[in-house]
Amino acid sequence: MHLQEIYLFVDRRRIGWLRFLLEGYEGLASLSTVSRETGLVRLCFPGQRDKELWGLLSDISQIISCGSCKT
Report the number of distinct structural domains present in the chain. 1
* CATH number of the domain bearing residue 26: 3.30.1370
Whether residue 21 lies inside any domain: the answer is yes
Q: Please indicate, yes or no, if residue 31 is contained in any of the structural domains.
A: yes
What's residue 71's pLDDT?
Answer: 44
Average pLDDT, the chain: 92
pLDDT, average across residues 16-24: 97
Domain, as residue range, for 10: 3-64
Which of 26, 14, 4, 25 has the alpha carbon at shortest distance from 61? 14
Bridge partners, residue 40, by sequence = 9, 35
pTM of the model: 0.85
Does the structure show a pLDDT above 70 at 24? yes
Tell me the CA distances in angstroms from 25 to 11, 16, 70, one per residue in order.
20, 15, 30
Instruction: Examine residue 71 and state whether it is found in any structural domain, yes or no.
Output: no
Whether 36 maps to a domain, the answer reads yes
